Structure 1
Amino acid sequence: MTANRYTFTQRMLHWLIAALVFGMLLGGLTFWALGYEGLVDRVGPQVTANLFMYHKSIGILVLLLTVLRIWLRRRDPAPPYDPPLGLVERLVGGTTVLVLYLLSIGMPIGGALATSASGYPVQFFGFELPGLLPENEALGETLFFYHGLAGLALALVVLLHMAAAIKHWRLKDGVMTRMSLP
């Protein structure tokens, strides 16, 4: 491992979380666009129930993996940029990563709260977890609304992050080497 790379575990977690978040955003967009009934009409009630269970489960998994990633980042801090980046790039990059972490933690928690308040089970790959809130339909709707807004915010921040990655990949300035798998 060179001095300007994250550990292999951190790089694997980055790409695993990225793939899971991408799938979650696509799933959330599908749920929003079709609604529950529209999804049932297209794929049936059992597949719809499974899609929602997997969405909840993967959301919790993203939360757990993000917490692990933050712990690893505290244990093994980010490698230095070689060559160093300017102040503005460091501030934008650091803020983007912070927002990605906050949304990767906050969205699953918000989704679990919304699910619980709406009277649905919070599931983790077939296991039902205890409800976090008593049933309150109005609160559930409000929380799901904000969960959706957070999803849009996450999508925008992911696009910004990807645009910066493409920029640095094209510049071949060593930034992409820090997080690349090979």
Structure 2
Amino acid sequence: MRPTPVSFSRSQRALHWIMALLILFNLLFSDDLVRWGVLYYGNKPIPDDVQLSANIHAYVGIAVLILALIRLALRFIQGVPPEPAGEPAIFRLLSKVAHWTFYLMFIVMPLAGIAGYYFDSGAAALAHANQMKLVMWFLIITHIAAVAVHQLYWKTGILKRMTTG
């Protein structure tokens, strides 16, 4: 039986921050992909710059999917640190739900994007660009807020587990 880690491993921390940057990139710079979808599903010509932006968005999304699968495997192999002592039970439960919802989104959102972009599924493309995008933003904002509560109110030092170890 392996001991419970007190922090995330360097590889887990690196994957977290790389994925955070890639996901934020795709969330913040998705306008050309929306434009691509309007043109593509409207049977209109797609300018080269819009096609390039759409390709970059797709490749970044595929990278997120691959990294998420690696990250999930590391989670099972290396384990994760326990919840901070004194964290109320309801917040431990909400934390677990949020983290597993993140993992679900890391997999389902790129798959929906792939279905829309490479396999002509308009429904998947719409879900990817609308509902899933909103869920991802909600998760990110609540995740950052939860870390802030831990750091500033409960003073658990939880941020250190995902930064310096």
Superposition TM-score, scaled by structure 1 size: 0.76
2:159 corresponds to = 176
Alignment of 1:138-157 (within 5 A): 140-148=121-129, 149-157=131-139
1:99 corresponds to = 101
Deviation at 1:170, TM superposition (A): 1.7
Decide whether aligned partners of structure 1 residues 152 and 30 sit closer, same or farther in structure 2, where only a CA change above 3 A counts: farther
Q: Which range moved further: 76-85 or 162-171?
A: 76-85
Counterpart of 1:160 (choices 130, 142, 151) is 142
Q: Which amino acid aligns with 1:154?
A: M
Describe the superposition over 1:142-166 as per-residue Cα deviations: whole angstroms up to 9, x where unpaired.
1211112111111111111111112
Gaps of 5+ in 2: 40-45
8 Å Cα contact 2:83-2:92 kept in structure 1: no
1:75 corresponds to = 77
2:15 corresponds to = 13
Q: Which range moved further: 172-181 or 51-60?
A: 172-181
Q: Which amino acid aligns with 1:147?
A: H
Q: Distance in 1 between matches of 2:65 and 2:28?
A: 17
1:132 corresponds to = none
1:26 corresponds to = 28
Query: May I ask how many residue pairs the two structures share in their alignment?
Result: 154
Q: Which amino acid aligns with 1:165?
A: V
Q: Which amino acid aligns with 1:143?
A: A
Q: Percent identity?
A: 26
Deviation at 1:99, TM superposition (A): 0.6
Q: Distance in 1 between matches of 2:140 and 2:80?
A: 19
Decide whether aligned partners of structure 1 residues 181 and 31 sit closer, same or farther in structure 2, where only a CA change above 3 A counts: farther
Q: Distance in 2 between matches of 1:166 and 1:48?
A: 38
Q: Distance in 2 between matches of 1:150 and 1:181?
A: 31
RMSD of the TM alignment (CA)? 2.4
Counterpart of 2:56 (choices 54, 57, 62) is 54
Decide whether aligned partners of structure 1 residues 167 and 29 sit closer, same or farther in structure 2, where only a CA change above 3 A counts: farther
Q: Distance in 1 between matches of 2:67 and 2:102?
A: 13
Q: Distance in 2 between matches of 1:98 and 1:22?
A: 19
Deviation at 1:82, TM superposition (A): 4.2
Deviation at 1:30, TM superposition (A): 5.5
